[in-house]
Structures are given as C-alpha cells and as structure tokens.
Amino acid sequence: MTTRFAGRVVVVTGAADGIGYGIAAGFLQAGALVHALDINAAGLESAQRRIGAPNERFRTQVVDVSRPEEVTRGTQQILRESPQVDVLVNNAGINMFKRLNELEPGHWDRVMDTNLKSIYMMCKAFWPGFIQQRSGVIINISSIMGQAGGVGAPAYCSSKAGIIMLSRCLAKDGAGYGIRVNSICPGYIDTPIMERQYAEQPDPVAARKQVLDKQPLGRIGTPRDIANGALFLASDEASFISGTELTIDGAVTATQID
C-alpha cells in the first residue's frame, strides 16, 4: 500500500466487480478512503471480503444509480460520513446488445438512465461541495464504443458517446472552481461482463480468441489497467488535464474496431 491518496475520499459507482472493483481497490491501495456503490448487494459483500480492508476505509452501500431517489439517499449518506469528497468515479453501467429493429423505448431508457443520467445525477449531488472547496476530480467511464460506434448496440454506444460530451461540458463548467473532469474509454477488458458475453456465444473459447486476436499488444486489458489510468487522472500529476478522454485499449482503435 502507498500513501499517494492518503487523506482523500473517493466515491466509485459500479464497484462490486470488474472495472469498478479494480478502480476502488486501486484507490484503496493508494491510501484513500473509498465509498463503493453498486446495485448488487451480494457483489459488494464479496468485494469487501476480497479487498480485505477495514470497514472504515472501504465503505459499501447498495444504490441503484439509475433512480433519482436512490442517488439522493446514497450521496447524502456519503456526505454525512465524509463531508469532503475529493474524487468521484462514475463507472456504473450496463450493456444492451440490440439492433435498432429489436430496440424498444424501454430498452433505450434503461441504458440511458443507467449509463448517462446516473452520471449527471451523481455529479450534480457532489458539485456544490466541489465548488465550495474549490477542488474536485470527476472521472467518467465511457468506452471505445462511444468513440467509434459499433453494430448491434446503438443505445449503449450512444450513451457512452454522451458520457464523453457531458465530461467535456462539465470540465468547462467547473474549471473556474478548480474542478477537473475527464473520461476514460476502455477497450476490451477482462471482466465478468465479458466472460458472460463469451458464455452466451455458441463457442465461448472461439469467441474469446476472436477478441484476443484483435489486440495489437497481444493481451486483453485488465481492470488494473483502467485503475492505473484513473489514479493518474485523479493525481496532482494530472493537474492540467481536464475535458479530455483517456483511451486505454492496447491500440485497438489505432488499428480498427468492429
């Protein structure tokens, strides 16, 4: 463990597993107090056991960030426990692999509420505190699919593109108060969501190999790769970086994306 973020308070949504867990663990290992939010109660309990941190430094809360009343309840609880929040990482999100002719309004709304509206609500909840303290870092997890698009997931790709633009707008809005806002665009990352996607294919082994074959660096990314990017963007070393996207994809989008 290091003391790089000692004394700082970090909030991470979608922290029960995958990228969110990796980011929460990374900040915890760097000395921060982490508030971990997720809709999955069992997943948070598992994360608490795996991370092996004292409850006072890794605090979990079951919150559905797609619902305004849940966001209000969850963020108010955090602010009661930690009046000054330093870093907000909006990671919670869902996939939706439905082409346009299958995509119903309810599907669209669910993706937008979870992936994009949740970020607006979480940022709005902590924004007054960031203004008052004249500092704060927001990191929003987008995707390379929000940059390049893709067949079969118009709602997902649109929500991730919206995250990029929202981050840019908030960076301009908060710049005069010392608030920095950036987004991270992960590529193919080895997470439980990806494993479920492989499992749903007729040949899971071939599906995984197909993804691996697209990787110029010869491996699929890990949650720690994304955590390292988040730690950098939240650090003092990134004090002049705001309103941009950090693509972490092993050069996939430098070649091609399907």
| Three-state secondary-structure class, residue 30 | coil
| 138 bridge partner residues | 88, 181
Domain spans in the chain, listed from the N-terminal domain onward: 9-190+223-252
The pLDDT score that the predictor gives to residue 145 is: 95
Which stretches of the chain drop beneath a pLDDT of 50?
A: none
Please state, in angstroms and rounded to a whole number, the distance separating the CA atoms of residues 9 and 23. Answer: 13
pLDDT for 192 equals: 83
**In the annotation, is 198 catalytic?**
no
The CA-CA-CA angle for residues 47, 53, 57, to 5°, reads 105
Dihedrals phi, psi of 216, to nearest 5 degrees: -60, -30
pTM: 0.95
pLDDT of residue 258: 54
Q: Looking at residue 127, what is its pLDDT?
A: 98
The CA distance from 120 to 53, in Å, is 30
The phi and psi torsions of 244 (rounded to 5 degrees) equal -135, 175
3-state secondary structure of 48: helix
Quickly name the fold that domain 9-190+223-252 has: Rossmann fold (3.40.50)
Query: What pLDDT is stored for residue 198 in this prediction?
Result: 83
Residue of 120, 156, 177, 198 with catalytic role? 156
